[in-house]
Each structure stands twice: as C-alpha cells, then as structure tokens.
Amino acid sequence: MPKDINGHLVPGIVGPERRIPRSIPRPPYVGRNEPPAYTGNNTYTAEEIEKIRAAGRIAAQAVQEVGKAIVPGVTTDELDAIGHEFVITHDAYPSTLGYRGYPKSLCSSINEVICHGIPDNTVLEEGDIVNIDITAYRDGFHGDTNYTFRVGEVSSEVNLLIERTQEALMRGIKAVAPGRQVNIIGRAIESYAKRFGYGVVRDFTGHGVGAAFHTGLIIPHYDSAPLFNDVIQPGMVFTIEPMLTLGTHEWDMWADDWTVTTRDKSITAQFEHTLVVTESGTDILTLP
C-alpha cells in the first residue's frame, strides 16, 4: 500500500530550557508575558541595516548548520541544541527563546506543521520534511530566516512543493519596489502558487523586523488588495515567508498553543528571508 500522503504527527515531550550566557544581552520581552509596544517605524539607517545584516547572517548560518544534522533518526530537540549553540557562540540571542512564552531556540515544523513547531523528542524519519526557523538578536537588532529541509529522499510531489515554495519566496522578493504597496508581494506569490493548485496560508504572514522581532507591519502572502496598502519605501526592512500546502490553507492549533498544522493534515513548506528595500529593489539580509 502506498504511504499516506498526509501527515500524522503527534506531540512529543519538550525538554528543559537551555541556558544563555549572562554576557549575551536579552531582547526586552524576555521574562515578560508579551513584548513592550513597538513605537519605532520600519525604515532604518545604513548603520542599522548592517546590524540587522550581521544578526541575519548568524541566523542564516545557524539554519545551515542545523541542516547538516538533518538525517533520519535525529530528534528536533537535538536540532534545537545545534541552533542554540551556534547562535550563542556568535554572541547572539536566539530570539524565539522566551518570546511570548515560546520555550525553544528555533521552530522545527514537520510535514503538516505550517509553522511554530516546538522542538521535542520527535524522531525525524526518511521522507519527512522539516522547516527550521531561526531568528538571531545581536547589538539591538533581529534577523529572521527559515528553510525547509528534506529528510533523506522525499516523494516527487513533496519535492516539487518545496522547490516551488522557494521559488514563490523569490518571486515575492522580486515584486518589491519603492512606491508599490506591500500587497503586490502576496499577489506575486499567490498567482504563482495557484498554477499548481497549492493552498496559500493567509493567517500567518511576513512582518516588519529589526529593532523588534515583529514590528506590527504585516506582509500577506496572498492577494490582499485593497487592504495592506502600506507603501514600500527605501530603507524598509521586513520578512517574506510564504507557507504553501498540498491541500487547504485552513489550519488547526495544537493544545500547546503554538504548533499550527494544516486542517486536512496536508504537507506544507515554507521559506523566509529578511530583506531591506533599496532604490532599485531589495537586498537580502539573511544570506549565510
């Protein structure tokens, strides 16, 4: 009998909190229920952009480092340990740890998990896919990136979903230009995804990032016009992080209040970059 195309993940056991050296500055929300209100805007000076790029590079390198360890038999908590160590040894703080009560240093979202999967004792198996999402905070600024990895060999349908989700991110990035509204980004992503009949997740979005983890600026991945009409300006920094599915865009939340799955348990992939708007287009700030 062919393997069920849909996921069947169940929650594992979450391990104890990892330590952060006292010498590493914490973001302001750590130890609070929620972040202090962000009062700044979404545009940055050249000096600030280089700080976001430095944080973004650490996050991107950490994702790559975790990716090297992704093989059948590894647990997502073992992956969390690798990401955590990489970030702290580069004098940065893993932004998710203690963000609104999130307990780990990265998000590990397997198969039907759309986003915000919590690392635990779940063992990855041949044919699974897993998204690793890491945000690093250094020198007062956050950089946020994610990548979907294959565990061993995956089905051709899932392989195409991953390739096309990465292409959807690149098309969203190419749609960015000063003077356009941010809703152009989701229009580019959704029109590409619809060619293949994929679901486009609507309720989890890209966001302004930099001086805060989530600044309040929202970047939808679907065609939201005439809503989300913020005008794109040089110096603006935000993420684009499309989530595409082999089925519905509707979702369910696990009892942990974090793990978001597709409602039909269809497989879902995501890719994310943080970028800055330039006079002519964009510059990606989360390259390794």
For binding to Co ion (CB under 5 A), which residues are involved?
Answer: 133, 144, 146, 239, 272
Output 33 or 280, the one with its CB closest to ligand MF3: 33
270 binds ligand MF3 (CB under 6 A): no
**What is the Cα–Cα distance from 47 to 230, expressed in whole angstroms?**
24
For residue 7, the Cα-to-chain-centroid distance in whole angstroms is 20
Sign of dihedral through CA atoms 42, 47, 51, 56?
A: positive
Output 206 or 247, the one with its CB closest to ligand MF3: 206
CB of 144 to ligand MF3, least distance (A): 5
**What is the Cα–Cα distance from 81 to 287, expressed in whole angstroms?**
22
CB of 207 to ligand MF3, least distance (A): 6
The residues, ordered by sequence, that sit 6+ positions from 104 with a Cβ below 8 Å of its Cβ are 14, 18, 77, 80, 96, 97, 118, 119
116 binds ligand MF3 (CB under 6 A): yes
Listed in order, strand segments (DSSP E) in 21-140 are 93-94, 107-110, 113-115, 129-138
Output 190 or 272, the one with its CB closest to ligand MF3: 272
CB of 98 to ligand MF3, least distance (A): 9
Output 120 or 133, the one with its CB closest to Co ion: 133
CB of 153 to ligand MF3, least distance (A): 27
135 binds ligand MF3 (CB under 6 A): yes
Contact present, 145 and 133 (Cβ < 8 Å): yes
Which is nearest to 72 in space by CA: 14, 7, 122? 122
Site for ligand MF3, rule CB under 6 A: 96, 99-100, 102, 107, 116, 133, 135, 144, 207, 239, 241, 258, 272
